[in-house]
């Protein structure tokens, strides 16, 4: 195996759940955001009137400034070299600043002015996260629309509800889809709230902005973080948050909640795609290297793999938060970066696969109907009990249900059941409760 | 060791971080809440005019109803027996319903009517959680007040800031305390939001309220969850949430965030209590079984132990959410109960210890001052660099800093430094940037 | 809800997966073990000839010494009081020593001699763990025996193998059971190895046995840990392991592996018990509070809930190990105790349920056969491809498989298939490869 | 930010703890191993006499076979293309087989013969893991040697032991280093055991080797997995382990244990490098973007960041194991790949940094001595108590210890202390217990 240290480590070969959906969080994207943070700092100084506007424009031009919420482009900073150079000091910002000063020597005094490496790296990660969340949110909206449409279409498609793996009572395909949609919407709302709260970071060496205050005076220094955030399109911080990591953990929690919501869809699709169940099928099933007949529910499988990984990355973010000792911590912060990126990557991938999954999902009404009839009427045993137990007692009712046969003839054979509308009583469609309303209320809320 | 199955499993012997602070989440408290959920269901039927009000009153009286947001008392249901009886079916609600029907036989037809065991257990856990969160929130408010006061008192107590374990630049004790307070407030806000969103659960066998609709008609059935929630003082659910577990995970995330915020306080107190540092000391240190001189920072140690445990319980909640397959899942739901309880317990304990820790926390200004002077002035090296590098160049500046000696004489010996206010330049108090403002803005936000 | 601090926190009401199976790890059991550790220390001093044997006997008698690998009994130390008293100093050993000295005042000088509280608590937890592991191992042996018997009985019961939820090729029920058994055996071996390595802890205040050496001389002090371990039946430590926590993490890893192995059995049983599949059924299914017809796979559900919780407790153990700073750490050690106990509890419960599950597991051969035939012969598509693709090409073979109908008539209608033994070719029993050997080799290894 | 899907995702920019140390687990390395697995399968058929040896040689030559425990080279398969192509079916093996058949068309019938994609991917991951573990083990051996040497050098360098952050009693630098070494050795032993157990995977479509048995007969098919493993230098599997994932979790557990052991070294170095403590310093400290005087303990910080991440990856492996349902699971297996790779990467990086850290670690004996004297003799309070409490009682002894002053004069002023060798009593070097033996026994064990 190669020992070439410049070999790309990870192109997604072992991450089919995320491969091809993660450009927003690639190393190149991170470099673009790091450069943008440095440029924005110069621009903020100019916006406050302390740096020369022409100089800020020159820096912006040379380093490829693209405006708020966007990384720089064409800056010529190479991610691989920066990654290698960043090991010695433990982060890539120190070598980056050197490179940028070489590229725009006339602005050397204004680059990174008053900042510490954590200011730049935190801000860049927030910027990368902001963009990734926008992509994820788009996917969630598409997924919600597909699920809402599915719920509407199958509002009255009666199906077996299953609890603890066993047929329980009837429900509808629409209720199930509406539940999926509700969870997706909730996750989306939480994700958007976390995104909107994402603040720029600017605190200087230890969170007091001492260098800036020394340099520019307290008033200007106090205005700098907000000006910096405005250039980038991020929220202004209430104070430096070097060791208060809730912006990261709240985002992380929302990302995990997103993958949870998609995980439920995938779990249900996988279960209901089983050969014996067959109620659902993915639009584009995956093939097998050995078995030509197989159509695997690949999107569900990949989303499920994401759902099994995401919460643990949330742990790393929370530990990094809880162990953020001193004015900047001794390892906790460094643990946060790859965990946040991988969590974004997982949510990007899972949501992209969810779009495909929900757009193509097929319901087999025949299988739904066949399964519903599978227990010979026991699917409405709860209802039967309410009617029959008063007539024949609990014991005889239990005998009635025992075994596998159709309940209709057995009930009709009961003298006590004379006059009952047995067919109506056994009709699953007549025992779906508020299923229709639950679907309809989803529409109203959308 | 005993094999008595009725021996209390856990009184907190191995959990000093939580022992004595967890009555809200004890098994007894859970039973009280389970009974309250069953009573509330009868009351909700009465409130909607379908059950007899006198009967509901009788049930309330017999089973010790205490009103909203409170468990029942004096109902005579024994937690240990219920725990044992709950194993066979996998949850304690089934035997509970039997017991309650025995206790109020005249209301047997109305007890548990239309409900499934998950409705009652979820609602009871939500009720228990709601109360526990109120207790935690009280502790956080006390903690915040103590920290805000500490920040105010030490607004201008200059101290060494440390990054990656090393002295960096000056900061103030006030800034540090203000940062702690900000994180506690944010966690509190998030906790209160999650608490307010905690919904009652009522969906019937599979989330369609089929039995209630069959029994009472769709209109009344549709009103039932809201009436049920109102009796209990909980939020009304938008729809049954048997397999959409965001109310649990959002609460869990907020609890973990709470413990994170307290964990940072504890981490800093532990670090700054080190014998060599000595800047902080807990009011009541713990003793040692072997070393009479020791005063251990026990509250910090216990809070830290909580912070190392909490995030992993959040994982269980998220996995339970993401794997909530079918209309009620095959294990994921069951994993949620003990994890949620333990997480509540940890947050109850950590916040109680934080109250004690922050109320008694002592600052040793002499130690703060001594440490600040420890590096012979290098604590303001960042500032010195801005002034001296232009005068003597980067190389000679590095030589100036090298070694351990006091910088003052060395600087004064520089011909280029003639005319500089060296004392002023070296004064840490003159290099604390926006420290005062950061403290003051905390007050304004409170 | 009660605020009585002496209310038992946890009797298992919210932990049906473990309730009733956790006496070995109850607070009472921990107290018994703590007392045993203190008694063993006196006995070790006597065994080395430095304490009076009669005194050691007296201590043993008064405090209910039961011999190696057993906690003391009848010592009169109350777990609840000790739990409450242990909060102030952060562990229960300090108040315990006081209590024991009151009970055996004549031995006061010899109780806890040379030890630190961590010595006693670690040793007690190891003792508790050792006993719990013996119980778990017994359950695993029973489970293995049941599974091995199941594998033998169903060595040749041909069944559909499923990959990514879809029918793949034939396998046998025996192969599946043999796989379960193999994983259980491996976990058992690992658990026994971790148990055998569990060392007593004896290092004194900071792991140098300074007090004992000062007291008894180096030779005797050096012999003390081994003598102490011998009294308790535990492994002798190579050196104090206050901050080297591999004995705990290795045990934890083996416990998680145990629950993993049982989790797979439960996952398969739950999946194959689905109403539509019906190949397996638990001997004693659980009931429902709402649906009289249901037989839930409760043991599987509870084991699955355990499997979703166990790995996260392992994380706490590993973090406690990795953060074991200084000579005794500032929170990490305290996080370990409840995590280890809960992990033992989960493994005790899961293995007990596995015994019941595997003892009563029923195979429905009709359902197995019905499912095997469900795809009209496509279950052997891999085999058909090897025979037919050379005859009719890949494209026509794909057409042949398309749709749902029986493949037999379609193949017989192919001119190119004349002369083929179509029935034999389609016989699933003729395409089970090494299934029989895989079962048989299990027997040989047992 | 770029949306180019072929942009390398991860070069290590956000992972300074691992960057530059992960070539063994790069995507290129995985492709090399995948190709090696396919080649080895052809070679195994030839070794058993069923495939033509010349053909196997031709395949080996064309695809760059390098022998056992080594990936193929120069095979021309591009990782990025394969990653993209692997999404549709959920794994990269299906497109890989197509590519290889194009490259060696004459061997098309023998490539992938009898295998399923999981056979090839599992085997490749095992191969990659095997090589990575060899590298990690080398680093651990170097680290152990450095620590053992450090322990020997500082066998008698007396230092303050700290428990719960407070000075406790004396210890030696040697004992501390010996403890680090012991934990590293234990982890190494466990890692080597897990490596030696890593089996090749060969089970065919569903773990029965049905295709091979149909093709080659039972005897030859039964010999195939062992022959396959022999070509690769891996352990022969006792049976296919598609859903019995202990080889992966046992390796994962050992990797986490490895990082735990290194994490303790890093935690201690970080704590003892604090500006106020100053007992240890890394050979090559990292710089700061803002503060020229700083020398950050970068290796420790990066190792600590690794230690905070590793255990959670272990959770993913265990969940993947516990949820391995059916004959091949519906998401759990896919979750395993990136988690195992990242865990290997973390262990590679942490162990490489540990080599550098321990090789360059500097002890400052003056600081050690200064800290030891910091409490005016209270560091030996345990010893003083044993001598003085009998003379002056517990209360007066407590008064003696109170405050900060030097204890020597106070003790000498006690009438009861006349005749005591106060200087000797206060000498920390005379109260280090078995410290020397603990170091020496390390040497004996190495």
Residue-wise pLDDT for B121-144, tens only, equals 999 999 999 999 999 999 999 999
Closest CA to D110 of D215, D14, D217: D215
Q: Does residue D57 carry a pLDDT above 70?
A: yes
Question: Could you tell me what percent of chain A has a pLDDT over 90?
Answer: 90
pLDDT in tens, A210-245: 999 999 999 999 999 999 999 999 999 999 999 999
Q: Does residue C444 carry a pLDDT above 90?
A: no
* Neighbours, chain D (3 or more CB pairs < 8 A): A, B, C
- The mean pLDDT of B412-423, rounded to a whole number, is 95
pLDDT in tens, B246-283: 999 999 999 999 999 999 999 999 999 999 999 999 99
- The mean pLDDT of C344-352, rounded to a whole number, is 98
Q: Does residue D291 carry a pLDDT above 90?
A: no
Please state which of the ranges A291-305, B343-357, B419-433, C348-362 shows the lowest mean pLDDT. A291-305
CB C116 within 8 A of CB C37: no
Alpha helices in B273-375 (DSSP H): 298-322, 332-360, 365-372
Q: Checking DSSP bridges between strand A362-363 and strand A280-281, what pairing results, if any? A: antiparallel
Give pLDDT, residue B404. Answer: 85
**What spatial distance separates the first Cα and last Cα of chain B, rounded to whole Å?**
53
Taking 3-state DSSP, the helix, strand and coil percentages for chain D, each rounded to the nearest 5, stand at 65, 5, 30
pLDDT in tens, A117-154: 999 999 999 999 999 999 999 999 999 999 999 999 99
**Structural tokens at position C331:** 């929170």
Give pLDDT, residue A380. Answer: 97
Band of the pLDDT at C8, cuts 50, 70, 90? low
Band of the pLDDT at B8, cuts 50, 70, 90? low
Between D178, D208, D307, which is nearest C432 by CB?
D208
Three-state DSSP class for C199? strand
Three-state DSSP class for A292? coil
Phi-psi label, residue A52: left if phi above 0, alpha if psi -120 to 50, beta otherwise: beta
Q: Which residue of C has its CA nearest to D244?
A: C183
pLDDT in tens, A264-291: 999 999 999 999 999 999 997 676 666 6
* Neighbours, chain B (3 or more CB pairs < 8 A): A, C, D
Q: Taking CB atoms and an 8 Å limit, are A332 and D308 in contact across chains? A: yes
CB A96 within 8 A of CB A82: yes
D250 part of contact set with chain C, CB < 8 Å: yes
Residues 302-331 of D with CB under 8 A from C: 307-308, 310-312, 314-315, 318-319, 321-330
Q: Does residue B2 carry a pLDDT above 60?
A: no
C338 part of contact set with chain B, CB < 8 Å: yes
Q: Of A14-28, C273-287, D212-226, which has the strongest mean pLDDT? A: D212-226
Band of the pLDDT at C289, cuts 50, 70, 90? low
Residues 6 or more apart whose Cβ sits within 8 Å of residue C219: none
Give pLDDT, residue D409. Answer: 97
Burial (CB count <10 Å: 0-12, 13-18, 19+), residue D59: buried
Give pLDDT, residue D5. Answer: 46
Q: Which residue among the candidates B73, B288, B386, B412 is catalytic per the annotation?
A: B288
- Best of C111, C330, C337, C344 to substitute, by most chain B Cβ atoms within 10 angstroms, is C330
Band of the pLDDT at A12, cuts 50, 70, 90? confident
Q: Which residue of D has its CA nearest to B271?
A: D165
Q: What is the DSSP string of A100-114?
A: HHHHSGGGTTTTTTT
Between C83, C297, C331, which is nearest B308 by CB?
C331
Q: Does residue C2 carry a pLDDT above 50?
A: no
CB B220 within 8 A of CB B159: no
Three-state DSSP class for B194? helix
Burial (CB count <10 Å: 0-12, 13-18, 19+), residue B376: middle
- The mean pLDDT of D293-307, rounded to a whole number, is 93
Mean pLDDT of chain A: 95
Residues 6 or more apart whose Cβ sits within 8 Å of residue D257: C246, C249, C250, C253, C318, C321, D186, D187, D190, D191
Band of the pLDDT at D346, cuts 50, 70, 90? very high
Band of the pLDDT at A2, cuts 50, 70, 90? very low
pLDDT in tens, B286-308: 766 666 777 899 999 999 999 99
Residues of A in contact with D339 (CB under 8 A): 309
Q: Does residue B3 carry a pLDDT above 60?
A: no
D289 part of contact set with chain B, CB < 8 Å: no
B131 vs A272: CA distance, rounded Å: 39
- The mean pLDDT of C289-302, rounded to a whole number, is 84
Q: Checking DSSP bridges between strand C280-281 and strand C362-363, what pairing results, if any? A: antiparallel
- The mean pLDDT of C189-216, rounded to a whole number, is 97
Distance from C114 to chain D by nearest Cα, in Å? 10
Q: Taking CB atoms and an 8 Å limit, are B275 and D385 in contact across chains? A: no
- Best of B166, B278, B297 to substitute, by most chain D Cβ atoms within 10 angstroms, is B166
Give pLDDT, residue B446. Answer: 54
Mean pLDDT of chain C: 95
Residues 51-70 of C with CB under 8 A from B: 70
Active site residue B328: yes
Q: What is the pTM of this model?
A: 0.97
Active site residue A244: no
Residues of C in contact with B315 (CB under 8 A): 312
Distance from D359 to chain C by nearest Cα, in Å? 20
- The mean pLDDT of C15-30, rounded to a whole number, is 92
Phi-psi label, residue C420: left if phi above 0, alpha if psi -120 to 50, beta otherwise: beta
Residues 122-181 of B with CB under 8 A from D: 160, 162-169
């Amino acid at each position: 195996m190669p020992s070439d240290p410049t070999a790309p480590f990870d192109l997604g070969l072992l991450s089919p759940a995320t491969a091809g959906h993660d450009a927003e969080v690639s190393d190149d994207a991170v470099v673009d955001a790091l450069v943008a943070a440095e440029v924005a700092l110069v621009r903020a100084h100019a916006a406050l009137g302390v740096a020369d506007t022409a100089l800020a424009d020159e820096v912006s031009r040379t380093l490829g400034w693209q405006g708020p919420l966007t990384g720089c482009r064409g800056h010529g900073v190479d991610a691989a070299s920066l990654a290698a150079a960043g090991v010695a000091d433990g982060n890539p910002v120190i070598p980056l600043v050197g490179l940028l000063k070489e590229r725009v020597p006339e602005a050397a005094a204004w680059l990174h002015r008053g900042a510490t490496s954590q200011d730049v790296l935190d801000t860049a990660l927030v910027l990368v996260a902001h963009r990734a969340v926008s992509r994820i949110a788009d996917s969630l909206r598409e997924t919600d629309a597909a699920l809402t449409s599915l719920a509407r279409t199958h509002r009255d498609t009666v199906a077996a509800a299953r609890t603890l793996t066993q047929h329980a009572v009837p429900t509808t395909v629409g209720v199930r889809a509406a539940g999926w949609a509700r969870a997706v919407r909730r996750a989306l709302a939480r994700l958007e709230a976390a995104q909107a709260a994402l603040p720029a970071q600017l605190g200087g060496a230890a969170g007091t902005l001492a260098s800036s205050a020394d340099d520019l005076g307290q008033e200007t220094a106090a205005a700098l973080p907000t000006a910096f955030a405005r250039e980038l399109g991020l929220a202004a911080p209430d104070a430096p948050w070097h060791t208060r990591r809730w912006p990261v953990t709240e985002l992380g929690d929302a990302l995990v909640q997103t993958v949870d919501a998609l995980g439920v869809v995938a779990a249900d699709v996988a279960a209901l795609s089983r050969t014996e169940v067959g109620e659902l099928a993915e639009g584009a099933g995956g093939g097998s290297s050995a078995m030509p007949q197989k159509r695997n529910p690949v999107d569900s499988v990949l989303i499920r793999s994401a759902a099994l990984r995401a919460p643990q990355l949330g742990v790393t973010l929370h530990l990094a938060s809880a162990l953020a000792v001193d004015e900047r911590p001794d390892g906790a912060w460094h643990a946060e970066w790859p965990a946040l990126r991988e969590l974004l990557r997982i949510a990007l991938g899972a949501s992209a696969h969810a779009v495909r999954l929900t757009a193509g999902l097929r319901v087999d009404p025949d299988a739904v109907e066949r399964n519903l009839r599978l227990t010979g009427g026991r699917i409405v045993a709860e209802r039967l009990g309410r009617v029959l137990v008063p007539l024949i007692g609990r014991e005889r009712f239990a005998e009635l249900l025992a075994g596998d046969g159709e309940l209709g003839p057995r009930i009709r054979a009961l003298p006590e059941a004379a006059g009952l509308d047995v067919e109506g009583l056994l009709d699953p469609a007549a025992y779906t409760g508020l299923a229709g309303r639950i679907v309809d209320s989803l529409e109203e809320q959308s």
